[in-house]
Amino acid sequence: MSEHVDVLIVGAGLSGIGAACRLRTEHPGRSVAVLEAREASGGTWDLFRYPGIRSDSDMFTFGFKWRPWPGDTALAEGPAILDYLRTVAREYAVDELIRYRHRVVGASWDSATDLWTVEVDRDGERVTLTTGLLWACGGYYDYDRGFSPEFPGQEDFRGTIVHPQHWPEDLDYAGRKVVVIGSGATAVTLVPAMANAGAGHVTMLQRSPTYVVSLPGRDPLATRLKRLPTRVSYPIVRWKAILLAVATYQLAQRRPQLVKGAIRKMTAKQLPPGVDVDVHFKPAYNPWDQRLCFVPDGDLFKAMRAGHASVVTDHVDRFTETGIRLRSGEELEADVIVTATGLTLKAMGGVELVVDGTKVLMPETMTYKALMLSDVPNFVFTIGYTNASWTLKADLVADFVCRLLTFMDEHGVRRAVAPRDPSVGEQRLIDFSSGYILRALDELPRQGDREPWKLRQNYLKDVRSINRDRIDDGVLTFR
């Protein structure tokens, strides 16, 4: 006999911890297990250990809406986020539900029993559990390998090559020349952090520019409202952050030239003399066609002005013994090369789903409210926004699951499924031009051309559609 739990959560990162807390509060009678592949909780915030690791969304929306982020730090450091998550897990006694070194490898649904049988690799041993609701909170990327393109001549390089996902604890870069390849959130975090921690010089080598926007490290409104009780100040600061994020995103979509111009002006002001904003900080795409990079108090620009960091926009021709030769012919000397080249996307924690004996092929499914898959019963997944804090969406998914379970209790329902509607047009899941998304688009589910099949990158619309609309909306079917 396999052990049975009412709800099985895959992953003990931010989403899994949040999910379990909400079930503890709103469905305390249900048995819940959180299966975590690693030996520790916290997911992303435990895995990544590179210098300066921090959030690039404000903590008032990255924190859970039901558990205020303490203080007025807007962009927080990784260890503080990890501490927050583990504290929350302890407070809600969710840490007791987590089973470490349990990697979920597959799950098969049986309509005869309305149950999932979940296959787990527990330290090399196979175990199975059954559950009524499977909730995938496994994040969106492969934990075992970051994206590392093979550069010609890599084996010739005599220095150290590091990927930010696998940062060596003992890496000594004091006084050394560092080249960081990349221009995303990780690169713009690493460059000032390494420069300020004593690297000789740090060069950010990018193929093409990214929008880099400076934000105050401390939120001025949060600072001003510090004297108020948190239960009063947190919702105010949180809603300010939400509305500002929605408004700037909408403005960028409708008036991209205006937003482009404003960012260019702000950036130009912060650059040291002689650095051409149009060469290094003017992307070919519109703002929010890829995620913007936020830097606290302009730390990247400060490091550049201090002469500790610089940006080069060029292509790698090959690695040499002493650094990198660029296509332009220029050579960058390096003792350490950091390949901040991104993540390898992995959907649903790599769990293979089978429904009544038939393997679920992700590209053949369509997302329902971006939290369930068509024709896959009693299965929910948490994936955050690409244009706002992940947690905003994760909280909404948790709201939905709690409401769904209440509905199922009240109506004596054991199965909830969103059957595929052939009249709904198919679109690619994410309209984002970032490399890691484009590389994986073919393996992801599709979205529909209308609600509730459409992925909304808009919290305000999702609040209505996910949190307020009826559970029995005429699309979900029940048994």
In the complex, the residues that contact ligand FAD under the rule CB under 6 A are 10-16, 35-38, 43-44, 48, 55-57, 62, 103-104, 137-139, 143, 186, 349-351, 382, 384, 389-390
What is the distance between the alpha carbons of residues 108 and 117, in angstroms, rounded to a whole number?
5
Distance CA 49, CA 54 (A): 10
Shortest spacing between CB 17 and ligand FAD, in angstroms: 7
Give the span between the Cα atoms of 337 and 326, in whole angstroms: 14
d(CA 249, CA 258): 12
Distance CA 193, CA 52 (A): 5
H helices of 385-465, where? 390-411, 435-438, 459-462
CB count within 10 Å of CB 97 equals 23
For 282-305, letters b (16+ CB in 10 Å) and e give bbebebbbbbbbbbbebbbbbbbe
Closest C-alpha among 186, 113, 174, 95 to residue 146: 186
Least distance to ligand FAD, CB of residue 350, Å:
5
CA distances from 364 to 350, 355, 369, 393, 452 (A): 16, 13, 16, 24, 17
Shortest separation between residue 425's beta carbon and ligand FAD, angstroms: 29
Question: Cβ of residue 330: shortest distance to ligand FAD, in angstroms?
Answer: 29
Beta strands in 275-425 (DSSP E): 293-296, 309-313, 316-319, 323-326, 331-333, 336-339, 352-355, 358-359, 367-368, 372-373, 379-381, 416-417
Find residue 358's DSSP bridge partners: 355
Please report how close the Cβ of residue 276 comes to ligand FAD at its closest, in angstroms.
Answer: 29
Pairing relationship of beta strands 331-333 and 115-122 according to DSSP bridges: unpaired
Shortest Cβ distance from residue 357 to ligand FAD (Å)? 21
- Rounded to a whole number of angstroms, the minimum distance from the CB of residue 62 to ligand FAD is 5
Residue with tokens 């901040």: 340
Minimum gap (Å) between residue 211 Cβ and ligand FAD: 16
Whole-angstrom Cα Rg for the chain: 23
Do 455 and 388 form a contact (C-beta atoms < 8 A)?
no
Cβ proximity to ligand FAD, 99 vs 264, nearer residue? 99
Q: To the nearest whole angstrom, how small is the minimum distance from the Cβ of residue 55 to ligand FAD?
A: 3
The smaller minimum CB distance to ligand FAD, of residues 43 and 298, is found at: 43
β partners of residue 109: 116, 355
Q: How far is the CB of 343 from ligand FAD (least distance, A)?
A: 6
Instruction: Give the residue with the Cβ less far from ligand FAD, 389 or 447.
Output: 389
Spatial separation of the C-alpha atoms in residues 229 and 215, rounded to whole Å: 25
Closest CB to ligand FAD among 332 and 380? 380
- Rounded to an integer, what distance in angstroms lies between the CA atom of residue 409 and that of residue 403? 10
